[in-house]
Structure 1
Amino acid sequence: MRCRKRLEIAEKNIERIMDEAEQIDKEEDSAGSLVRLNEEIQDQKKMQAKVREIVKTLKETGKENKKTPAKPFGKEEFSYDKKRDVYICPEGKILKNKGIAFGSEEKISYKAGGKECRECKHFGICTTSRNGRWVVRMVEQEELKERLEEIYHEEESQKLYKLRKEKAELPFGHMKRNLGAGQFLLRGKEGVNAELSILSTCFNMARMITIIGVPVLLAKFNSM
């Protein structure tokens, strides 16, 4: 109980110093300061929604593991033509819509001609089926994935994602790398909240040292 009260007092004092540091930061026009992060994000709800959408994009689409070689002639090598509702293979051959796949309306199968595949120089690698290469499209999921990929590659989205890397990831990177907090030591919501509060306090103090310097920070603590 005593520790909790001391922690609450410390947090209030740090909040006050952070407010003063923010004022100094504004006067010095420090564009890279994180002290203004909360105010900036609160004033830009649209940016918040966009960043969350981009994060979701990365989870949906994923990034190919560079250590794992890409599967030759995987489905990602085939392009989908929405207007014609066909897939086009790397050699330019057409895979036509053959209807529902595996008895599910959410899955549509597309197939190339057997003769075209057998005469292709990649036969045996792309497919070993003499009937031709098959591709299955997950209708709802892939339409969402394609839309999210379009959003992610937009110029505005790339700017916002870069901003996310610069600001939102910095506190967590500092805690994990500089403070060595790769995982929580405590269990349970209350314990994790307490541990995160301590880590956040350490991060805020490091930021205050960067912004106002050690002598000014010590002077403010001594005046409490």
Structure 2
Amino acid sequence: MMGERTVVQEELFYGFNLERHVPGDHLLRAIDRFVDLSDLRRHLAPYYSPIGRPSIDPELLIRMLIVGYCFGIRSERRLCEEVHLNLAYRWFCRLGLEGDVPDHSTFSKTRHGRFRESDLLRELFETVLRRCMAEGLVGGEGFAVNASLIVADAHRQRGVARTEDLPQAGRAVEEYLAVLDDAAFGAATPVPPKHLSPADPAARWTASWGGPAVYAYCTNYLIDVDHAVIADVEATTAVRQAEVGAARTMIDRTRERFDLWPERLIGDTGYGSAEMLNWLVHVRGIEPHIPVFDKSRRTDGTFSREDFTYDHDSDAYTCPGGKLLQNNRRSFTKPRSGVTKDDTRIYRASKSDCDACPLKPSCCPKEPARKIPRSIHEGARDMARDIAKTEAYATSRRQRKKVEMLFAHFKRILKLGRLRLRGPCGARDEFLLAATAQNLRKLAKICIAQSPMPAT
């Protein structure tokens, strides 16, 4: 028999408990245990006037942003609608059933103003990281570093060739001009970009991701490999030099603010330059579990540098024919360092030795004598090569995949394959909030699994 719903007269009063209608296993209920905003007002106090009409509660705005980035709600207009309708979102934002949701324009005004001036989002990220450390999720023994391209909010077919052709006003242009001397953006490389976007001039024109050229930024992660907790995040322009500089910045910042000093750093070949390896080994005392960036291997059938034996005591190479290659074959009145502008020393064989050598066709058939360049940081490179032969290095190669998985989560689950905010500050804001959301989800996943929440 077909059922029919009976019309019931509405009651005058309802007893509705919002706490009871949020499931005990909801992600926000787990995340709420680890969101500590107790210092928020103290941190923002210098940026608010003591008189005038009260503003929107900044804690509400932060909680709404956490909801948006945890659940991939990119539009602030849609975020306000979702918080208005979703009971779990209202519960997390402490709005109750009748609390008013702020207008979406409030986010833009506050984010471009007080939040950036006070660096609040960096403070929020570090507060969550301290909670990860308190829960024992950060070991500090091994770190992994990597970067990922994120497409900027700029049309790839609309660009100008010169800075002079940019519009003379606008926040994006002002931010671009402000970071021209910043090592993470304008000063990362002396090579000028081929195209500039009028909408976001600081975004770099690049095709290094293997697809068509786009305007993009890079998000750089430094993670602890124990539980893939993000220890630091940095926004840079999309060039390799900026990524290497960001790695140094993040390592130093985690040491200064959290006293975290890894024994080993895991990275790809992009971080295997001689200067970077020397900085890790001799300046910071960190083992580089990084492939050496080396172009010395020849492909024309002649001897490569690895076929020559270097002797530290005599500071000379021995060729396969048993002859010496030396850095200085004669003395000078004024001693010379023998170091080129590329930070290398050139070791040369004697022309008479090469002319009489039967191996010359396999060594230097087109040159009068063989030359071998050696970096002044070759000691650090040799150490990285020795580490690459160990079982610990093989383990590190597997652990490096954890940072790649975070980038996949960043783009597919949090839906951050393309930025919504423009300029270096916008990229920094989005990357900090995304990293904060990922650490909060990690806390909820691991700690709640270890100690299930009681049923409500």
TM range (shorter): 0.5 to 0.7
Counterpart of 2:318? 88
SS in 1 for 2:445: helix
Counterpart of 1:59? 273
Q: What are the Cα deviations for residues 36-81 of structure 1, in whole angstroms up to 9, with x where unaligned? A: 979x987764426x5399999723264358xx97464233443321
Selected match of 1:33 from 216, 227, 232: 227
Counterpart of 2:369? 132
Question: How many Å apart are 1:166 and its aligned residue?
Answer: 6.5
Selected match of 2:428 from 193, 197, 201: 193
Q: What is the distance in 2 between the residues matched to 1:171 and 1:91?
A: 51
Is the 2:346–2:371 Cα contact (8 Å) retained in structure 1? Answer: yes
Mapped pair 1:75 → 2:75: no
Q: What is the distance in 2 between the residues matched to 1:91 and 1:180?
A: 60
Is the 1:109–1:136 Cα contact (8 Å) retained in structure 2? Answer: yes
Q: What are the Cα deviations for residues 88-138 of structure 1, in whole angstroms up to 9, with x where unaligned? A: 1234332234259xx87424543324454345454234213574323344x
Q: What is the distance in 1 between the residues matched to 2:399 and 2:135?
A: 23
Selected match of 2:339 from 106, 111, 120: 106
Is the 1:77–1:89 Cα contact (8 Å) retained in structure 2? Answer: yes
SS in 1 for 2:317: strand
The amino acid across from 1:98 in the alignment is R
Is the 2:267–2:400 Cα contact (8 Å) retained in structure 1? Answer: no
Taking structure 1 as reference, are residues 37 and 174 closer, same or farther at Cα in structure 2, changes over 3 Å only?
A: same
Alignment of 1:113-152 (within 5 A): 113-128=350-365, 131-137=368-374, 142-150=375-383
- TM-score, normalised relative to structure 1: 0.55
Question: How many Å apart are 1:150 and its aligned residue?
Answer: 1.8
Q: What is the distance in 2 between the residues matched to 1:36 and 1:110?
A: 44
SS in 2 for 1:98: coil
Taking structure 1 as reference, are residues 157 and 198 closer, same or farther at Cα in structure 2, changes over 3 Å only?
A: same
Q: Say what the alpha-carbon RMSD is for the aligned residues.
A: 5.4
Taking structure 1 as reference, are residues 123 and 186 closer, same or farther at Cα in structure 2, changes over 3 Å only?
A: farther
The amino acid across from 1:188 in the alignment is G
Which range is displaced more, 162-171 or 119-128?
Answer: 162-171
Q: What are the Cα deviations for residues 174-220 of structure 1, in whole angstroms up to 9, with x where unaligned? A: 3256656456453323211331134224423542563236xx79x99
Q: What is the distance in 1 between the residues matched to 2:421 and 2:431?
A: 10
Q: What is the distance in 2 between the residues matched to 1:208 and 1:149?
A: 39
The amino acid across from 1:190 in the alignment is C
Taking structure 1 as reference, are residues 44 and 4 closer, same or farther at Cα in structure 2, changes over 3 Å only?
A: closer
Q: What percentage of residue pairs aligned between the two structures are identical? A: 20
Q: What is the distance in 2 between the residues matched to 1:63 and 1:130?
A: 26
Counterpart of 2:63? 9
Which range is displaced more, 189-198 or 105-114?
Answer: 105-114
The amino acid across from 1:47 in the alignment is P
Question: How many Å apart are 1:87 and its aligned residue?
Answer: 1.1
Q: What is the distance in 1 between the residues matched to 2:355 and 2:371?
A: 13
Gaps of 5+ in 1: 26-30
Gaps of 5+ in 2: 1-54, 68-91, 93-123, 138-224, 233-253, 278-291
Taking structure 1 as reference, are residues 148 and 193 closer, same or farther at Cα in structure 2, changes over 3 Å only?
A: same
Question: How many Å apart are 1:83 and its aligned residue?
Answer: 1.0
Mapped pair 1:47 → 2:262: yes
Is the 2:269–2:293 Cα contact (8 Å) retained in structure 1? Answer: no
Q: What is the distance in 1 between the residues matched to 2:271 and 2:359?
A: 33
Q: What is the distance in 2 between the residues matched to 1:164 and 1:193?
A: 26
Taking structure 1 as reference, are residues 51 and 78 closer, same or farther at Cα in structure 2, changes over 3 Å only?
A: same
Q: What is the distance in 2 between the residues matched to 1:34 and 1:57?
A: 20
Q: What is the number of residues matched between the two proteins?
A: 202
Q: What is the distance in 2 between the residues matched to 1:146 and 1:24?
A: 36
The amino acid across from 2:383 in the alignment is E
The amino acid across from 1:95 in the alignment is L
Q: What are the Cα deviations for residues 129-188 of structure 1, in whole angstroms up to 9, with x where unaligned? A: 574323344xxxx23231353267457985995697366665345325665645645332
Question: How many Å apart are 1:86 and its aligned residue?
Answer: 1.4
Q: What is the distance in 1 between the residues matched to 2:427 and 2:57?
A: 16
